[in-house]
Structure 1
Amino acid sequence: MIMIKAVILWVGILVLAIANGALRESVLIPGLGTPTALVLSGLLLSALIIGVAYVSLPWLQIRRPAQFWFVGFGWLALTLVFEFSFGIWQGKSWTVLLEAYTFKGGNIWPVVLAATALAPYIAAKLRGWASLR
């Protein structure tokens, strides 16, 4: 049941990521320039992902550290599969796809990926759940 709930939450995160991208492209880049917009957008998305994890932990009903890691790395895997599949479907080359995994020009996508993997654990720590020892 945890796996199904985690996938449902990841779909919600995907919706937030798409909305974040729309905000970045329509408001942040024109107003702040690309490098600043990319950093701000990446930080915002990271905070949103951790926020989703924080709010959803009671619903997920997980308390063991292994489960936090399982959910977080599951979200990371779903994100990577989605990103590469969507990019390939759009006809992007591997060079273009892998460029997103650098810190070039203000891009902090690797930080967002780390936040995705660590979000359930960070959220549990923020909640002060003692079972993380």
Structure 2
Amino acid sequence: MALNIIFKAFAVWLGILMLAIANGALREAVLISVLGKPLGLILSGILLSGLIFGMAYIALPWFGRIPVESYAVIGIGCLCLTLVFEFTFGRIIQDKSWPQLLEAYMFREGNIWPIVLLVVALSPYAAAKIRGWA
């Protein structure tokens, strides 16, 4: 994969990271306090998934037409970056234990984080498919 595609994918991932941080702030400040934890987490997960797919769809022309496999590589790369960020931030900055970090992957109390991660991985390919590029 060309180096410029990797840099572009990283830039898109940084944009998604900013959207995720804003979504988290909205979730904690508004959604959970107004709707309760389960519904707030579900709505936050759905909103973030939509933002991620929207970012992928909007960014796709910046990449141009690339081989179909490249969309999958971009999605898996963004997934890996997300997981590295999630666990590094959680362990180092938030000082969370491994059980606390893994709680987000258990579908408890409305947390749909694993579905959001699936959206991260599949969005580049799905966006290309919808545009008729894959």
TM over 0.5: yes
What is the identity, as a one-letter code, of the residue corresponding to 1:5? K
> Which deviations, in whole Å up to 9, do the C-alpha atoms of 1:67-111 show, x marking residues without a partner?
001100000000000000001102211111111111000000000
User: In the alignment, what sits opposite 2:43?
Assistant: 40
The offset of 1:62, in angstroms, is: 3.8
3-state SS of the aligned residue for 1:107? coil
Residue 107 of structure 1 is matched in structure 2 by 111
The DSSP-based 3-state class of the residue aligned with 1:106 is: coil
When normalised by structure 2's length, the TM-score is 0.94
For residue 7 of structure 1, what is the amino acid of its counterpart?
A: F
Query: Could you tell me the TM-score, scaled by structure 1's length?
Result: 0.95
What is the CA-CA distance between 1:30 and the residue it aligns to? 1.1
Give deviations 1:20-70, integer Å, cap 9, x for gaps. Answer: 011111111111111001000001101100000000111012432110011
Opposite residue 78 of structure 1, the aligned amino acid is L
Q: Percent identity?
A: 59
Following TM superposition, the consecutive aligned residue runs of length 4 or more in structure 1 with deviations greater than 2 angstroms are none
1:1-133 equivalences under 5 Å are 1-89=4-92, 90-129=94-133, 132=134
SS at match of 1:105: coil
Matches of 1:55 and 1:79 in 2, distance apart? 20
Amino acid at match of 2:81: L
Q: What is the aligned-residue RMSD (CA, Å)?
A: 0.8
Q: Which runs of 5+ in 1 are unaligned?
A: none
The whole-number CA distance in structure 1 between the counterparts of 2:65 and 2:43 is 31
Count of residues in Structure 1 that have an aligned counterpart in Structure 2: 130
Does structure 2 conserve the Cα–Cα contact (< 8 Å) formed by 1:2 and 1:61? no
Asked if 2 retains the 8 angstrom alpha-carbon contact of 1:62 and 1:68, the reply is: no
